[in-house]
Structure 1
């Protein structure tokens, strides 16, 4: 009895074997299963998170750059304002300095004029006063110094001697100089008249102040056949330039030294 196999048992065994065979067939030959839906969602979430982090990072960097740029622009604006203010101050200072320099120059010029006038008054009383702007023993008249050099030379040599003293032969170009020269009664002195090829008769000294013959050139081509003018008391005469006559020169005076006005010492020899 115990060894009897019923139909039901066989049926159950057949059914179990069939399921096992089917299951073996399905498991042994099918491809690996596809990724699950959960893994895809996690990967997408991670990608989205990464993008968000990148966007946040870019936003932070942009904010830092903007703030840095704003700060630098403010500093640059402050520097520009400081530069403009400094330039304005420098410009104002230069303007002030120029005005001050102009005032100082005007004051210096005024003091120089006053000193010259005062020195001239002292010179009238004491011809060799310390403040005199002319060399010793030279005469001072207005804006010129006149010196008799105690020499007897040709016109060309006389002109050269005057040049050595940074001077020139005397020219009479206005009435004030004319009256000064006439008052001294100079005798036989060369004048700074241009040498000429033709002889010219004597004329009154007064006529020379309107003359266009005052010498302005050089004496390179001067020869023995030319005539030069000289003063003889109140008249102007012409003689051959190679003859010898007295030498008298004129030159600009030196500036009057203010500190020397109150000094009565005679100046050292100057020429």
Structure 2
């Protein structure tokens, strides 16, 4: 009888322990969720951080937009100012060019007036200081003519004219022809090409378009070469080594306006 009680107690105790075992398991399982509170705080902090970052990005984006807009406005203003300056400069350049043209036209007109005035003064006083030719040279239109008194060979005459930055006279237009005829020249070498065959004489009026006015090689002139010289209305040919007077011509210098106006 005692053995049965003991067995029953043991079974009861075992069954009691087995009934209480799930309770301990449930307690252990219920105790494990405690860390979820920490994760919630962490998630909340991360969410707030993300919001702050988004807000910061929004603020930075707004600031960038505002700054970009302001810079764009400044750039547009600067571009407008630049274009305005370019227009003003262009207009100023055009104005300056027009002024320069007017000044040039005025200068040309004054030069023409001074030249005419000087020529009138020259007709009254041959060696007037406004004359654009060397002393004792004659002035006709745009040319100066030097009638020299030395008796020289044709080649010496050519060298003498060259030393004066001039050349022996060439009659190649009607105006120079009329001037030469008015001087009644006698025995002056001309800038005609030397020739091997002499010509008795030529009428001065018929030589204007002659190709003989273009001087060819004159390095070797001897007693068998003939050169042209003027005697009144005719041109004659004589030995280039004979001696006659040279007549030189060169372009006249521009008339100095102040010399023409200071009478």
State the 1:259 CA deviation.
2.2
1:131 and 1:263 in contact (8 A); partners too: no
| Distance in structure 2 (CA, Å) of the matches to 1:263 and 1:217 | 45
| Distance in structure 2 (CA, Å) of the matches to 1:227 and 1:55 | 111
TM-score, normalization: structure 2? Answer: 0.83
Give 1:1-271 correspondences, 5 Å limit: 33=32, 36-215=35-214, 219=218, 221-224=219-222, 225-261=224-260, 263=262
The runs of 5 or more residues in structure 1 that have no matched partner are 1-9, 265-271
TM-score, normalization: structure 1? Answer: 0.80
| Distance in structure 2 (CA, Å) of the matches to 1:106 and 1:239 | 50
- Looking at secondary structure, tell me which structure has more helix per residue: 2
| Distance in structure 1 (CA, Å) of the matches to 2:176 and 2:151 | 23
Distance 1:52 1:262, change over 3 A: closer
2:137 and 2:146 in contact (8 A); partners too: yes
Structure 1 SS opposite 2:99? helix
CA displacement, residues 138-167 of structure 1 (integer Å, 9 cap, x when unaligned):
111111111112222222221221111111
State the 1:169 CA deviation.
0.9
Distance 1:216 1:63, change over 3 A: farther
| Distance in structure 2 (CA, Å) of the matches to 1:124 and 1:202 | 34
Alignment partner, residue 267 of structure 1: none
| Distance in structure 2 (CA, Å) of the matches to 1:68 and 1:146 | 81
Distance 1:46 1:124, change over 3 A: same
The runs of 5 or more residues in structure 2 that have no matched partner are 1-8
CA displacement, residues 98-137 of structure 1 (integer Å, 9 cap, x when unaligned):
1111111111111111111111112111111222111111
CA displacement, residues 28-86 of structure 1 (integer Å, 9 cap, x when unaligned):
x99x9355333222222222211111111111112212222222222222122111111
Tell me which moved more, 102-111 or 57-66: 57-66
2:194 and 2:215 in contact (8 A); partners too: no
Structure 2 SS opposite 1:189? strand
Aligned residues between the structures: 249
Structure 1 SS opposite 2:150? strand
| Distance in structure 2 (CA, Å) of the matches to 1:53 and 1:175 | 103
Distance 1:44 1:237, change over 3 A: same
| Distance in structure 1 (CA, Å) of the matches to 2:54 and 2:246 | 104
Could you say what the CA RMSD is over the residues aligned between the two structures, in angstroms?
Answer: 3.0
